[in-house]
Amino acid sequence: MRRKDIPEKIRARLYPRVLEIFSENDFHQVSIRDIANKTEISLGTLYKYFDSKENLLFTVLEDYLGEMRQIMIMHVAALENPREIFRKIFWVTMDYYDNHPSVAITAYITVPTKTWMQQKAYRRDDIKDILSSVYHDLSARNAIDPQLDVRALSSLYFMFTDRHINVWYYHGMKWKLAERMDDFFDHFWKIIEPPAGAP
């Protein structure tokens, strides 16, 4: 089901509640009937647009995660300094999850990874495209470690993001993700910065 095929009034009513349900409950304990009851949207209406709870949840997640991409593009477009470009990429990521904690919890904590991996949205091609564009631009300027390839850069982004969110959740979400970026960002930059003496 494509996003545009789902009426806006249903999305506005359904999507935030779905994320709330899945972020507060074990994935396997939630049924599509539970979602119908808690959103007060009939089973018939839900099945009109989604053939399973998995399809429903991953449609919702893909919609929210796609929104992050647009924000990231807007913030990064005018930046030139390599360090600040990557800092902004992480800041947008963490700020988005601070403003949508149920997205972070659902995508990184409550959804079984094996189930999530089977979805196209899990690959985060939208973010990989941004990282690839940044990588090629900075490589052309000799502004990134030449031994680093784009796949390694993508892996580093997701590794640091995943760990940061897991630690935040484990400790009861007592701080803002964006405010604690310095816990890891300097380490990330040291890995990818060009070696001393590079042109």
pLDDT tens per residue across span 130-171:
999 999 999 999 999 999 999 999 999 999 999 999 999 999
Q: Rounded mean pLDDT of 65-86? A: 92
In whole angstroms, what is the distance from residue 43 CA to residue 50 CA?
Answer: 10
What is the three-class DSSP state of 81? coil
Region of 116 (left: φ > 0; alpha: ψ -120 to 50; beta: rest) is alpha
In whole angstroms, what is the distance from residue 41 CA to residue 34 CA?
Answer: 10
pTM score: 0.89
User: How many other CB atoms are found less than 10 A from the CB of residue 82?
Assistant: 18
24: pLDDT strictly greater than 60: yes
CB 64 within 8 A of CB 100: yes
pLDDT class of 198 with cuts at 50, 70, 90: low
Q: Tokens in use for 163?
A: 């760990």
In whole angstroms, what is the distance from residue 184 CA to residue 30 CA?
Answer: 34
Domain spanning 3-192, CATH class? mainly alpha
- Rounded (10°) angle between helices 185-192 and 150-170: 170
Q: How far apart are the first and last CA of the chain?
A: 50
pLDDT at residue 4, as a whole number? 52
pLDDT class of 35 with cuts at 50, 70, 90: very high
Q: Where are the domains of the chain?
A: 3-192
